[in-house]
Structure 1
């Protein structure tokens, strides 16, 4: 599913969960009785409200034409009250005729119940009117280094002051939770603000401007990243002229980096709600791989001379059917059956007839009453039902009957009697609904949720492993330089360990920090497509992409400085001590013959390079790094190694989903 909208808020107010739940339930038109779990369906629309005392998740899944949209509000209490958080996401598959995504209707109502922030500046329910007295506070918000949401500033329209007010209210409703909307009170306020902003960042004439995080008056290298919207367009088209502003901010929200504590806690919310994780462990350290691994049930021991033993369940609970002897023994069979049934039946029954080895001969009509008893029989019935559904199916019974046909008539009669009793017991249990509580769809949904939880755990463990490996490489490098212990010394990298939420974050940091790499602007389209189209998987790729780019940069530096000979694959196989590298299995220095020899696939791997590398300006780049080995999507990073050539750099030609080949076409 594609992520369209994402709000990440901090809320230190009291009763965070009830406030959010009340607004969500009213918006979703659900009768909320306050139960820990409420599930409602109306046609193809499904609503789920689930929470505990420390966290909760509320979901509305609804059709939109031929697509679907899922709106999810998640909250959790933080280690400290000021670290409590709320996330709201809208994701799905929209048809071409579906309306553009805007802020869900409950967000503004929730914001009105408290004073939420983006972690640095307030995010309010409506537009804020700023006069001369509040200008200094506005400038502090604009310049705040930790601000994460855009601030949309609207100026005064002298010809029609009501236009600015209407536009501000429209923007505040559409961008609730992901932007702050400010309306300047008068022209004096506008002049005071523009004096602080400077000519490049000013706003005037009834227009508006969207100030992205990181406003630096007088130091902006590209002031137009803070997009203005002229007053004439707003006066002519009214609120319709604001669609481009709204769309830009909503799309920007989908790329917003989620704080590490929010991301890690969110991965545990499902487990707390499912009852598989104690609420006290909501902020615990990441689970170990051993804790994540699901235990496998013990296999039934194989008994000599019993070829069908593996198909039967372990000998627990009710007594299983007696084994069929290889040599018929009519006289001994009843006694053996009675002995096998003895532990479950209590006192010995030496004179019991053959039928006594089967479950109690209660008819279908009387069994449901027994199942409803409070003496533990209900649990026994559930266990029997599970055995019947999973093991004693018709195929096994028919096989036993076929085997018995070669014996005497008494053995055959015994097995057929057991079959009849089991069939009656199955009908009785089915009548109670025990076998119908979990359908195929429920199982698939449960497995999907469990897969999502395990994938999130895997990504978290992978991130921690990356950070540990990065620390180890740094320590190894220092040991190699100084030949003395440096354990406990912090890394002097001013940027710190990468904690990226999207591949675009990785690309932007690489352009800023990795001097031996060239990442052209043409990469951004495919990189952004991966980020937006696969929001759940993208964090799995960010760490690998950063590791690969760092390894390429370190390799290019070592190669250009004549400290290393060989190609990038050789570098990954035997890197210099302490230098970044990736596992060689991620690297492929060529494409298959079926790709290289096919003009269509060959052209798909031609990427731009400077004329000093190739006069044509394009070159074939078969070498690539696999961010995900198999599956769909399977992102690839194609590169050209010119570390030993004219430029002394590695050129990244492509970063996106798998390019076409014989398997994708």
Structure 2
């Protein structure tokens, strides 16, 4: 699904969850009973309200023509009140004729309940009218380096003052939560503000200007990045003239980076709401391998194995009565059944199950007790072994445990105690589980990248000095990036042995905008691949390594960046190379010193995602050992056409 709108706010006010839930429920038109999890459906529209004392998530999933749109509001209490946060997103699949996405209707009502900020400056529910005495406060907001939301300033229209007020209200409603809308009270206020802004950044004549974060009066290298909108267009077209402003700010919100403290917390909200994580662990540090391997206390001895029921004799022969054990006591009356699986004296076999109201809990407890008693400790310890590398023996143990759990699951389901799920209920459960697992997967990828980066740094230090460096922080950890465009821009600045032309930006930005949920898993892989290419090119140019990039990934120099060899393919299949259409799709720009035509065939590529759709690829030309000593990146985008995609 594409991400169309994203607001990330700080809210240190009292009762954050109830305030947000009340506004969301009123907007969604659902009668909220305040239960921890409320789900309602109206035709193809689904509303879910779920929360705890420390976090919550509210969503509205509705059809829009041939597509769907999902609005989600997630909140979490911070370690300090001022660090509590709210994230509101609108994502989905829209048809070409659908209405453009604007701020959800509950946002103005929610913002009016407290004093939310973007982490630096207030984000008001409506228009902020500024007079001469408030110019200093406005300039402070504009210059704040920590500001994340745009500030839209509307000036006075002397011919029709009502136009500015009407346009300001329209902007404030459409951009609630992702921009601050300011209307200047009079001409004196406008002159004082322009004196501070300077001629390049001034605004006047009934027009408006969108000031992006990082305003630097007198030092702007490109002042037009703060886009103006003339007063004549606004007077002639009214609010229609604001569509380009609204669209630009909404699209900007979808690319706004999520603050570093929210990124690891957000995936835990899903697990807490699903009951898979204790609420106290919302802000806990991730567990270390040492914590996972803490020795467990010895198990308490379990109950004795119940006697097996007698095996009937062959047909035609009367079955002998079972002999009671020597210390057996008389059985109780039939009207007082024992718990299922009881080991009480006198029970010749499993006692009859109690009625459903009383026996379900007893049966579940007995199943858990028997499972804990019969699972071998080695199976549980194999989980830790697998996390540290694993081998064929531990894999076999895990498969054995999985088979046992599958059999147990089938046995429990066959009793009918769990009830029958409808097709719709099962679909909803699987959808929620998929969303939670996807967030978990991205979080685990980030942890693994950071761990691998530190391991490489430690290996390089050990190789150079043979000194113990355990516990010393690596100087250059893997950078955080919210989009592939961030990765490309950083590579252009930092990786000197790579050439990434501007022609990459079209396909890279298309991946960012079209697949917002997957892009985080690609950013880490793309950065790791670019770093590995840069390190390989430097080693080749300095005669520290011989061989190709695939060889580098198979046996890199100690501590140098690399990726797993399975991500690298140095050629295309014969069906691609021999097809003129597919061949032409892999011709990319290079300097004339490499090829007089300015374009060469680049079959070598890196798989950011091995299979599926989309499956991004990075095509490159290896000239590390040639005239330029560089790696030339020709393409970064979705899978190019081949026999399967065409």
Q: Give TM-score scaled by structure 2 length.
A: 0.82
For residue 519 of structure 2, what is the aligned residue in structure 1?
Answer: 538
Q: How does 1:43-192 map to 2 (within 5 A)?
A: 43-192=43-192
Residues 7 and 253 in structure 2, CA contact (< 8 A), matched pair in contact too: yes
User: SS of the residue aligned with 1:62?
Assistant: strand
For residue 435 of structure 1, what is the aligned residue in structure 2?
Answer: 419
For residue 232 of structure 2, what is the aligned residue in structure 1?
Answer: 232
Residues 255 and 502 in structure 1, CA contact (< 8 A), matched pair in contact too: yes
> Which one has a bigger Cα radius of gyration?
1
Q: Residues of 1 paired with 2:530 and 2:522: CA distance?
A: 12
For residue 534 of structure 2, what is the aligned residue in structure 1?
Answer: 553
Report how far residue 191 of structure 1 moved. 2.8
Q: Aligned in 2, Cα 1:618/1:218: closer, same or farther, shift over 3 Å?
A: farther
Q: Aligned in 2, Cα 1:444/1:290: closer, same or farther, shift over 3 Å?
A: farther
User: SS of the residue aligned with 2:263?
Assistant: helix
Q: Aligned in 2, Cα 1:637/1:348: closer, same or farther, shift over 3 Å?
A: same
For residue 21 of structure 1, what is the aligned residue in structure 2?
Answer: 21
Q: Residues of 1 paired with 2:343 and 2:535: CA distance?
A: 73
For residue 562 of structure 1, what is the aligned residue in structure 2?
Answer: 543
Q: Residues of 1 paired with 2:192 and 2:341: CA distance?
A: 90
- Structure 2: 5+ residue stretches without partners: 293-304, 326-337, 368-411
Report how far residue 288 of structure 1 moved. 6.6
Report how far residue 648 of structure 1 moved. 2.4
Q: Residues of 2 paired with 1:287 and 1:478: CA distance?
A: 25
Q: Residues of 1 paired with 2:323 and 2:187: CA distance?
A: 98
| Superposed CA offset, 1:601-644 (max 9, x none) | 11221222233322222221111111111222211111112223
Report how far residue 471 of structure 1 moved. 2.6
Q: Residues of 1 paired with 2:306 and 2:343: CA distance?
A: 11
For residue 641 of structure 1, what is the aligned residue in structure 2?
Answer: 622
Residues 9 and 116 in structure 1, CA contact (< 8 A), matched pair in contact too: yes
User: SS of the residue aligned with 1:262?
Assistant: coil
Pick one of 471, 486, 490 that aligns with 2:454. 471
Residues 511 and 637 in structure 2, CA contact (< 8 A), matched pair in contact too: yes
Q: Aligned in 2, Cα 1:338/1:72: closer, same or farther, shift over 3 Å?
A: farther
> Does the alignment pair 1:625 with 2:625?
no
For residue 452 of structure 1, what is the aligned residue in structure 2?
Answer: 435
> Does the alignment pair 1:612 with 2:598?
no
Q: Aligned in 2, Cα 1:236/1:336: closer, same or farther, shift over 3 Å?
A: farther
Q: Aligned in 2, Cα 1:59/1:318: closer, same or farther, shift over 3 Å?
A: farther
For residue 514 of structure 1, what is the aligned residue in structure 2?
Answer: 495
User: SS of the residue aligned with 2:125?
Assistant: coil
Report how far residue 89 of structure 1 moved. 0.6
Report how far residue 480 of structure 1 moved. 4.2
Report how far residue 111 of structure 1 moved. 0.7
Q: Between Structure 1 and Structure 2, how many residues are aligned? A: 577
Report how far residue 195 of structure 1 moved. 2.9
Coordinate RMSD, CA, aligned: 3.3
> Does the alignment pair 1:659 with 2:635?
no
> Does the alignment pair 1:505 with 2:489?
no
| Superposed CA offset, 1:237-267 (max 9, x none) | 1110111111111111111111122121111
Residues 497 and 630 in structure 2, CA contact (< 8 A), matched pair in contact too: yes
Q: How does 1:368-387 map to 2 (within 5 A)?
A: 371=355, 373=357, 375-376=358-359
- Structure 1: 5+ residue stretches without partners: 293-315, 351-356, 361-366, 385-425
Report how far residue 545 of structure 1 moved. 0.7
User: SS of the residue aligned with 1:40?
Assistant: strand
For residue 371 of structure 2, what is the aligned residue in structure 1?
Answer: none
Q: Aligned in 2, Cα 1:222/1:659: closer, same or farther, shift over 3 Å?
A: same
> Does the alignment pair 1:578 with 2:562?
no
Report how far residue 664 of structure 1 moved. 1.9
Q: Tell me which moved more, 251-260 or 518-527.
A: 518-527
Q: Residues of 2 paired with 1:592 and 1:337: CA distance?
A: 75
Report how far residue 211 of structure 1 moved. 1.8
Q: Residues of 2 paired with 1:445 and 1:288: CA distance?
A: 33
Residues 102 and 174 in structure 1, CA contact (< 8 A), matched pair in contact too: yes
User: SS of the residue aligned with 2:581?
Assistant: helix
> Does the alignment pair 1:331 with 2:314?
no
